[in-house]
Amino acid sequence: MNEGQIKTQIFLIKAADSLLVIVVFGLAIYTYLHPQNMNMMVTLVILGLFILNRLGHFTLDKIARLRHDLDKLEREKRSKRFQK
């Protein structure tokens, strides 16, 4: 992968993670404002927070690996520049 592809993947992962956070908090606000079926909605919010936690750990690991690959590419680029 090149530098642009890695940066694009990092951006897309962060965007998907942010969108999931917005959805879970939107569901929590809806549950607070419209408590018709409170038990089901609270269960869904708790499940959403659990999924958010698990995916958060996964995305942090994935972004860390991608940043490591990006650093490796930048070091290789610098070393090639100094060799010339």
Q: Considering the domain boundaries, does residue 40 fall inside one?
A: yes
Tokens coding 28: 């929590």
Q: Considering the domain boundaries, does residue 13 fall inside one?
A: yes
Residues listed for the chain: 84
pTM: 0.76
**Helices 3-33 and 38-83, axial angle in degrees (round to 10):** 160
Q: What is the DSSP letter of 5?
A: H
- What residues make up the domain containing 50? 3-77
Q: Considering the domain boundaries, does residue 34 fall inside one?
A: yes
- Which amino acid type is present at position 25? F
Q: Considering the domain boundaries, does residue 12 fall inside one?
A: yes
pLDDT, tens digit, for every residue of 20-67? 889 888 888 888 888 788 888 888 888 888 988 898 899 999 999 999
How many structural domains comprise the chain? 1
Cα–Cα–Cα angle for 56, 21, 30, rounded to 5 degrees: 145
Task: Give the count of beta carbons closer than 10 Å to the beta carbon of residue 6.
Answer: 19
Q: Considering the domain boundaries, does residue 46 fall inside one?
A: yes
